[in-house]
Amino acid sequence: MTFNDDARLDSSKVRRGGRGGTGVAVGGGTLLVLFLVSQLLGVDLTGLAPATDPGAGSGEDSTVENCETGADANANVDCRMVGAYTSLDDYWAEAFPELGGQYASPGMYLESGTWQTGCGTASSAMGPFYCPPDQSIYVDTSFFEVLTGQLGADGGPLAEMYVVAHEWGHHLQNLGGIMDRIDRQDTGPTSDGVRLELQADCFAGAWAQNAQSTQDAEGTTLLEPFTEEQLASAMDAAATVGDDHIQSSQGGSVNPEQWTHGSSESRQKWFLQGYENGPGACDTFAAGADL
Ligand SMILES: [Zn+2]
């Protein structure tokens, strides 16, 4: 059990299959844009085939609008995404202005196969990502099977929500203008790109700490306090999407100069930094070489 059964979810801002289906020609320029976006803001899964057949059973008949309560979120992964949205939106609407930012809710789309975004045509092989021009998060929930399958994570509800919380962190960076100020082409363990990713992990950790007291509109706490095991599963997910782990999972050697997201150790460290010290302690750009 993760959500309080009686908590109310806000399903009005999450869409399933809202961004159109397959069959659209993909130009080279679009592919390049997608490559850059997936390198920077998502998890590059090009060497890992999604566990499910793209387009098969893709849930075009949406279940999202039937996600009403915490009990639904406990029972169903789509509703869990709605629950994550509700919790993240409630938390950051308060916390982001305290950091000096002007908050706006992101879009969130549950997709499968291939679909259109403001960043070009997207596919399941990209993993979950954030598209800055759309201010939207895109998730194919079959990624969670890749996470626990090919990538070997423990998985579980909090691990899934960590993934959404990380992409939400990119939305905050976009709102705050951080993305515009850095060199997003650079790679390597202390590159701006890696600092951007580790900051998103830190923001995810800050949400995780505070999510346990975030309430719905009627004052019911959305999430039950996390168990040690759940927290460990989120930490494990953060390590699993570390560049060194992904590089070795894809059969290659570990090459730090190509890192775009940071090592497993760094990703855990910054998630914990946010969890223990809050979002004000997430300035990875001021952290020097010790990430
Ligand atoms: Zn990211």
Domain ranges, ordered by start, for the chain:
11-286
Query: 44 C-alpha vs ligand 1 centroid, how far in Å?
Result: 10
Query: 21 C-alpha vs ligand 1 centroid, how far in Å?
Result: 24
Q: What is the pLDDT of residue 56?
A: 38
Sign of CA dihedral 174, 176, 182, 186: negative
Tell me how crowded residue 97 is: count the other CB atoms within 10 A of its CB: 11
Nearest to 273 by CA among 194, 206, 211: 206
Q: What is the pLDDT of residue 61?
A: 45
Query: 246 C-alpha vs ligand 1 centroid, how far in Å?
Result: 14
190-215 tens-digit pLDDT:
999 899 999 999 999 999 999 999 88
Query: 6 C-alpha vs ligand 1 centroid, how far in Å?
Result: 32
Query: 261 C-alpha vs ligand 1 centroid, how far in Å?
Result: 7
Tell me how crowded residue 211 is: count the other CB atoms within 10 A of its CB: 21
Question: Pick the residue with more confidence: 239 or 49?
Answer: 239
Report the C-alpha gap between 29 and 24 in whole angstroms: 14
Q: How confident is the model at residue 58 (pLDDT cuts 50, 70, 90)?
A: very low
Q: What is the pLDDT of residue 151?
A: 86
The identity of residue 68, as a single letter, is E
Report the C-alpha gap between 27 and 288 in whole angstroms: 39
The 3-class SS string of 6-34 reads CCECCHHHEEECCCCCCCCCCCHHHHHHH
Q: What is the pLDDT of residue 75?
A: 93
Question: Helices (DSSP H) in the chain: which residue ranges?
Answer: 28-41, 70-75, 77-98, 143-148, 157-175, 178-181, 192-211, 228-240, 243-249, 264-277
Query: 239 C-alpha vs ligand 1 centroid, how far in Å?
Result: 13
The C-alpha angle with vertex 52 and arms to 160 and 29, in degrees rounded to 5, equals 85
Question: Pick the residue with more confidence: 169 or 218?
Answer: 169
Average pLDDT over residues 127-135: 91
Task: Please say if the pLDDT value at position 23 is more than 50.
Answer: no
For all residues of the chain together, what is the average pLDDT?
85
Query: 168 C-alpha vs ligand 1 centroid, how far in Å?
Result: 9
132-162 tens-digit pLDDT:
999 999 999 999 998 898 888 999 999 999 9
